[in-house]
A and B are shown apart, each in its own frame.
Chain A
Amino acid sequence: MDPQLTSQIVPAEEIKVIEECLVRLAEDTGGNYVLLLDKSGQVITAQGDAARQDITALGALIAGTFASSREVAKLLREKDFRQLFTQGVRENIFISLIEDQWILCIIFNKGTHIGLVKVLTKKATDDLSVVLERVREQQKARDDVLGSSFRTSMEDTIDLLFRD
């Protein structure tokens, strides 16, 4: 089967490794918020400032920004923009690509130097690339994870909720 059409399963133990990596990055940089997204905009996991609402919309927008910058890169015949830096009045956002699959995003305030964020993010993306590699390699059968009756239950739920 086309690997691009199958889903990506991130096992519990890998989520734990990812979380540790994000916590470390937040602590070492004094960052307020760190999140890991899939390139489709879905939040894999987030750490920090629990008061942030609407992570879902944030994920969609950041991934959209990144994807559109990739198209800008193509037009400029640039290979890719691996990083994006957005400067705000109170907070800055630094975004970095992990392989072609995940997006690491850190939100930090004026107290933190961007140079430090860049160096530590580089280290974190290296660590996360290793995790991503492992996630890609493991070939767990869907049924092991979801259970064989998942699809029928899902179809019932769809019929129940998606109607006027």
Chain B
Amino acid sequence: MALINVAAREIHCKIVYYGPGMSGKTSNLQYIHSQVPKETKGELLSIATETERTLFFDFLPLDLGKVRGFQTRFHLYTVPGQVLYERTRVAVLSGADGVVFVADSQKHKLEENIRSLRELAVNITRQNKRFQDFPVVLQYNKRDVPGALPVATLDKYLNTLGWQRFEATATNGAGVFDTLKAISKLVISKL
């Protein structure tokens, strides 16, 4: 739930990057962190295993400065995608205002994408929110990989709710900011 502090004139929104293991969630945050102006970003906090897989979450606070007198902050999180960490994902999702679902475009990952998306729906519903109404933006990542599934195929299996979706290559940044802009605006529209 977005938080509006009238005394301090602050607005906070929480956005969570969700998706199967290795789909590129952390890479999204790393790219954003490398590009936004110094004044806008805080430190990127990553709680990861020795092999750079997310263990708990990544956290990147973005401060957009004053908008109409309100200091506006977006807090970006990633969940750990490995199947093992199901409960940890529930914890990180707590209080999210919007989700970016990062899907892996590789053919052999389709099944994992579908399972992860189903799990997301269950977890959002458990927070007493209606999944159909919940702000979600889809990202088809790893478009650079040879043999990536056609977008139409991914749409058919993953985008039954007709969300906005973007093709991306998180490692070189393609599509990363389009995705971020879309989810930010969607969340703001629900304030």
Q: Which residues of A contact B (CB under 8 A)?
A: 2, 4-12, 15-16, 38-42, 44-45, 54, 56-57, 60-61, 63-64, 67-68, 70-72, 74-75, 142, 145-147, 149-151, 153-155, 157-159, 161-164
Contacts and interface: CB of A to CB of B under 8 A. Distances in A.
Contacts of A157: 64-65, 67, 72
A145 B6 contact: yes
Given A5-B1, A38-B12, A71-B90, 13 more contacts: A2-B130, A5-B134, A6-B190, A7-B190, A39-B95, A67-B90, A68-B91, A71-B87, A145-B6, A151-B189, A154-B72, A154-B185, A161-B62
B153 interface: no
Nearest to A147: B68
B3 A60 contact: no
Nearest to B34: A164
B5 A40 contact: no
A88 B44 CA distance: 25
A68 B129 contact: no
Nearest to B39: A161
B57 interface: yes
B14 A41 contact: yes
Contacts of A149: 68
Interface residues of B, number: 61
Interface of B: 1-8, 11-12, 14, 31-32, 35-37, 40, 42-43, 45, 56-57, 59, 61-62, 64-65, 67-70, 72-73, 75, 77, 87-88, 90-92, 94-97, 127-130, 133-134, 173, 176-177, 180-181, 184-185, 188-191
Contacts of B177: 162-164
Nearest to B9: A12
Main SS at interface, chain B: mixed
A72 B186 CA distance: 33
Question: Closest 5 CB pairs between A and B?
Answer: A40-B95, A67-B91, A15-B7, A7-B2, A12-B7
Contacts of A162: 32, 36, 177, 180-181, 184
Contacts of A75: 87
Contact of A57 (B59, B92, B181): B59
